A and B are shown apart, each in its own frame.
Chain A
Amino acid sequence: MKQKIIMKLLTGMAGLGMVLGVATAYATPEQDKQDLIKFYASKFPNVKLEDYVYGALALDPDSKAQYDAIMEFPPFDSQVEAGRKMWETPFKNGKTYADCLPNGGKQIAGNYPMFDEAKGKVVTLEDVVNDCRVANGEAPFKISDPKTIGLLGSYMRTLSDGMIMNIKVQGPKAVAAYEDGKRTFFSRRGQLNFACASCHVQNAGNHLRSELISPVVGQAVHWPVFRGGDTLVTLQNRYTGCFKQVRAVPPAEDSAAMNNLEYFHSAMSNGLPMKASVFRK
């Protein structure tokens, strides 16, 4: 997506949040990501690719210094610790999460969301945790609930720290799900008429009032975040917040629309290291 193509994408979507048949020749996720990286490199020639994991902080040394200071003694440590207890507490049948997740739950977060051929749809790591609970006779958690699956995730995802994001899009159904997520990302919607890309591509590095806007590349690797130091926000919570900001009705979290968005969105961070959990203001 060179500048021209990005603008074309947004242009094609002018109108009331509806996009019909956006004319995008199919590009692989790797091409899409490289085009974005090229686009950002022309805007931010001094930002190194590995620093995109810091989001807007990579564009503002003062905020990054504050972030580094906070991350030395994270105010959310006790919550991650509570997540560790959840992770270690066996189910009623004596089994644990480690028993039923791939690779004992270690170094796996960068594979999710994943296209599950058997189910014919995208599954998130949260879906896999819930499947694991159900298979062991436990009730599934409420999706995105900060007090349960959110907390568990804040610890569980640390077991994948340093893993390289590696979202695979193979086969026609996976490609269709990826394209659906990409379309959501580039479609204008809501009374205020924004696409995700209006802010996180077109205006990355600009200020919206006093908020510095982060680029999409690197956004997916560091979840959950603790906003204000102690308010846990999952990745899909954040999507919901951004939808509402433009007065759009957000799709339900864990719906196909949200999971496909997370699939596309995460693929744009392929190659960058995972890191849970981090501070955000």
Chain B
Amino acid sequence: MRKLHQLFTACALGAITLAGSALAAEPAKDLTGKQLAFDKTKGNCLACHAMPTVPDAESPGTYGPPLIAMSARYPDKAKLRAQIWDATVANPSSSMIPFGKHGVLTEAEIDKVTDFVYGL
């Protein structure tokens, strides 16, 4: 099923703001947490979140709140990971993608993204 989603994405029409071609990113490149968060075919967090402390986090979207002072706001890192894994647990009408639950990111990728976001 995952493959099918990716196939359809790969031939999407017009300007794609959210889901780039996942196929292109398939070869097991070792992306850092930041790269995973920025990559349009992976986390694409910037589509929705500003990161005010990251200088190259350019033209972010406004669906979600700015990601800042995260370790202070999430003393429990597991909670932060859980938000990224499936935001609809905390807020059933969330428009944030359930990255873990829907297999958009692997468990290892979520760990890396969590570490990166925790440092913001």
Query: Which residue in A206, A209, A249 is a CB contact (below 8 Å) of B46?
Result: A209
Q: Collect the chain B residues with CB atoms within 8 Å of residue A227's CB.
A: 14-15
A190 contacts across to B, CB distance below 8 A: 5
A170: shortest Cβ distance to chain B, in Å? 32
Name the one of A10, A198, A207, A247 contacting B19, with C-beta atoms under 8 angstroms.
A247
Q: Is the CB of B47 within 8 A of A193?
A: no
B97 within 8 A of A: yes
A237 interface residue per 8 A CB criterion: yes
Q: How far is the CA of A245 from the CA of B16 in the complex (A)?
A: 6
Q: Considering the chains assembled together, what is the distance between the CA atoms of A14 and B19 in angstroms?
A: 20
Decide: B5 and A191 in contact? CB cutoff 8 A: yes
Least Cβ–Cβ distance between A172 and chain B, in angstroms = 31
State whether the Cβ of A72 lies closer than 8 Å to any Cβ in chain B. no
Q: Which residues of A contact B28 (CB under 8 A)?
A: none
**Residues of B within 8 Å of A, CB-based: how many?**
34
| Chain B residues with CB under 8 A of A7 | 93
Tell me whether chain B's interface is mostly helix, strand or loop, or mixed.
loop
0/1 per residue, A236-269, Cβ < 8 Å to B? 0100110011111110000000000000000000
Chain A residues touching B, range: 35 or more
A28 neighbours in B (Cβ, 8 Å): none
- Determine the chain B residues whose CB is within 8 A of the CB of A193 once the complex forms: 88, 97-98, 102
B95 near A202 (CB under 8 angstroms)?
A: yes
Per the bound structure, the CA–CA distance linking A202 and B62 in Å amounts to 12
Pick the residue among B15, B44, B95, B104 that contacts A203 (CB under 8 A).
B95
Contact (Cβ within 8 A) A192 B46: no
Contacts A192-B102, A209-B60, A209-B61; A233 near B14 (Cβ below 8 A): yes
A194 to B97, CA, bound (A): 8
The complex places the Cα of A227 from the Cα of B98 at a distance, in Å, of: 31
Known: A241-B13, A245-B17. A207 touches B61 (CB 8 A): yes
* Interface residue? B108 (CB, 8 A): no
The answer to whether A208 and B8 have CB atoms under 8 Å apart is no
A78 is an interface residue with CB less than 8 A from chain B:
no
* Residues on B with beta carbons closer than 8 Å to the beta carbon of A233: 14
Residues of B close to A207: CB separation below 8 A:
60-63
Chain A residues 1-34 with CB under 8 Å of chain B are 7-8, 10-11, 14, 16
Q: A residues 144-202 with Cβ under 8 Å of B?
A: 190-194, 198-199, 202
Which residues does B use to contact A, with CB under 8 Å? 2, 4-6, 8-9, 11-19, 22, 44, 46-48, 59-63, 88, 92-93, 95, 97-98, 102-104
The 22 listed contacts between A and B (C-beta, < 8 Å) are: A16-B102, A191-B2, A191-B103, A192-B97, A194-B95, A202-B95, A203-B95, A206-B62, A208-B17, A208-B18, A208-B63, A209-B59, A209-B61, A210-B17, A227-B14, A227-B15, A240-B13, A244-B9, A244-B13, A245-B18, A247-B6, A248-B5
Closest 5 CB pairs of A and B: A244-B12, A247-B5, A11-B92, A191-B5, A10-B93
User: A residues bordering B, Cβ < 8 Å?
Assistant: 7-8, 10-11, 14, 16, 190-194, 198-199, 202-203, 206-211, 227, 231, 233, 237, 240-241, 244-250, 281
